[in-house]
């Protein structure tokens, strides 16, 4: 019983991490029609940022670090969008290739700067003690992580559905030309959304740090998970990213625990199933 409950919590916390990773990917894809293959690298950049910052300043608060890393990664993403992606507006294939090239550059730069050994990110001290609930013992940090993901999901939902900015983004998703015609600055929205997506990934990388730790190749491990989540949930849908993240979190965690050899095959079974019966994904719209 303990096994199932603990694995269940692990699944939830992995799902939460995946949501922080894939929600940004999905937002960017929805508005910009751009498969941002740099997303795994943005996530890894956040993790390295936390690992280095907290190794240097041991008393650093992880929440402050997450905020700082989020801002830094958002700034890098914004620069990349402004300097490179805007030049390729008419060339969607070129945009994908450029994001792929950028991900190679970032991951190699991390390897040069911080070496090939994995660097741990410490769990905050006050979250190290396990929590006892209903007679079971839970690692507190993982519970907090799930809470963070849910909070981020609610915040993103409110941003998209209840604010003026969200309304403009939704208008851009639905009909870009019409949105331009009524005076919505769609190009600026592109930059804002790209920064937002990159920032969430960077902050998510920090929060995932205590579980994953920073190592070279983290980006290549996370990117396919993000892809599978958004293909499963429906590209461009926040709800799809949320549900998809937790499905993949459960499938991957239990797959690894029960059939470690086959975890990777089990991982893409739900994706194949969904593609076969609903090519647009669980919550995707036709034509999106």
Residue number with CB closer to another protein (53 or 288):
288
Q: Minimum CB separation from another protein for residue 193, in Å?
A: 16
From the centroid of its chain, how far is CA 104? 18
DSSP per-residue string spanning 104-137: HHHHHHHHHHH-SS-B--PPPGGGTSPEEETTEE
Residue number with CB closer to another protein (112 or 182):
112
Q: Minimum CB separation from another protein for residue 33, in Å?
A: 7
**Of 244, 232, 240, which Cα lies nearest the Cα of 278?**
232
Q: Minimum CB separation from another protein for residue 79, in Å?
A: 13
Helix 140-162 crosses helix 238-258 at what angle (to 10 degrees)? 160
Residue number with CB closer to another protein (143 or 222):
222
Residues 33, 35, 38, 43: is their CA dihedral positive or negative? positive
Query: By CB under 8 A, is residue 88 in contact with another protein?
Result: yes
Q: Is 23 helix (H, G, I), strand (E, B) or coil?
A: helix
The CA-atom distances, in angstroms, between 209 and each of 63, 115, 147, 247 are 12, 17, 16, 21
Q: Residue 132 corresponds to which tokens in the numbers above?
A: 């006892």
Give the footprint of another protein on residues 90-129 (CB under 8 A).
91-94, 96-98, 100-105, 107-109, 112
Q: What's the rounded Cα separation, in Å, for the pair 33 and 28? A: 7
Q: Minimum CB separation from another protein for residue 30, in Å?
A: 12
Query: By CB under 8 A, is residue 87 in contact with another protein?
Result: yes
- Could you give phi then psi for residue 138, rounded to 5 degrees? -120, 140
Query: By CB under 8 A, is residue 282 in contact with another protein?
Result: no
Count of residues binding another protein (CB under 8 A)? 46
Candidate residues 14, 144, 223, 243; the one interacting with another protein per rule CB under 8 A = 223
Q: Do 245 and 18 touch, CB atoms closer than 8 A?
A: yes
Residue number with CB closer to another protein (154 or 269):
269
Cβ-proximal residues to 235 (8 Å cutoff; 6+ apart), any chain: 26, 29, 30, 280, 281, 284, 288
Neighbours of 169 (CB within 10 A): 24
Query: By CB under 8 A, is residue 257 in contact with another protein?
Result: no
Binding mask 201-220 for another protein (x = CB under 8 A): -------------------x
Candidate residues 167, 224, 258, 259; the one interacting with another protein per rule CB under 8 A = 224
Residue number with CB closer to another protein (47 or 103):
103
User: How many alpha carbons lie under 13 Å from residue 216 in its C-beta half-sphere?
Assistant: 14
Q: What's the rounded Cα separation, in Å, for the pair 86 and 62? A: 34
Q: What's the rounded Cα separation, in Å, for the pair 156 and 23? A: 9
Give the footprint of another protein on residues 226-245 (CB under 8 A).
227-228, 230-231, 235
Query: By CB under 8 A, is residue 35 in contact with another protein?
Result: yes
Q: Minimum CB separation from another protein for residue 243, in Å?
A: 18
Q: Minimum CB separation from another protein for residue 261, in Å?
A: 5
Q: Which residues in this chain contact another protein in the complex, by CB under 8 A? A: 29, 33-35, 37, 84, 87-88, 91-94, 96-98, 100-105, 107-109, 112, 220-221, 223-224, 227-228, 230-231, 235, 260-261, 263-265, 267-268, 271-272, 275-276, 279
């Amino acid at each position: 019983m303990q096994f199932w409950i603990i694995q269940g919590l692990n699944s939830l916390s992995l799902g939460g991490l995946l949501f922080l990773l894939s929600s940004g990917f999905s937002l960017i894809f929805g508005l910009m029609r751009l498969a941002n293959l740099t997303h795994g690298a943005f996530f890894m950049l956040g993790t390295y940022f936390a690992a280095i910052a907290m190794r240097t300043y041991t008393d650093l608060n992880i929440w402050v670090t997450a905020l700082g890393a989020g801002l830094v990664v958002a700034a890098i993403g914004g620069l990349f969008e402004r300097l490179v992606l805007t030049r390729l507006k008419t060339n969607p294939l070129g945009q994908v290739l450029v994001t792929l090239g950028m991900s190679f550059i970032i991951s190699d730069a991390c390897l040069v700067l911080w070496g090939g050994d994995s660097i741990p990110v410490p769990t905050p001290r006050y979250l190290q003690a396990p929590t006892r609930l209903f007679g079971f013992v839970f690692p507190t940090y993982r519970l907090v992580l799930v809470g963070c993901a849910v909070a981020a999901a609610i915040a993103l939902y409110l941003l998209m559905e209840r604010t003026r900015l969200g309304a403009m983004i939704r208008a851009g998703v639905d009909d870009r030309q019409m949105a331009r015609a009524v005076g919505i600055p769609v190009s600026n929205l592109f930059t804002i959304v790209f920064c937002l997506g990159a920032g969430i990934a960077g902050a998510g990388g920090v929060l995932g740090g205590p579980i994953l730790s920073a190592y070279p190749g983290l980006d290549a491990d996370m990117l396919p998970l993000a892809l599978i989540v958004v293909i499963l949930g429906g590209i461009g849908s926040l709800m799809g990213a949320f549900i998809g993240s937790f499905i993949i979190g459960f499938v991957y965690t239990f797959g690894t625990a029960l059939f470690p050899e086959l975890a990777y095959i089990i991982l893409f079974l739900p994706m194949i199933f969904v593609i076969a019966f609903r090519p647009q994904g669980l919550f995707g719209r036709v034509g999106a």
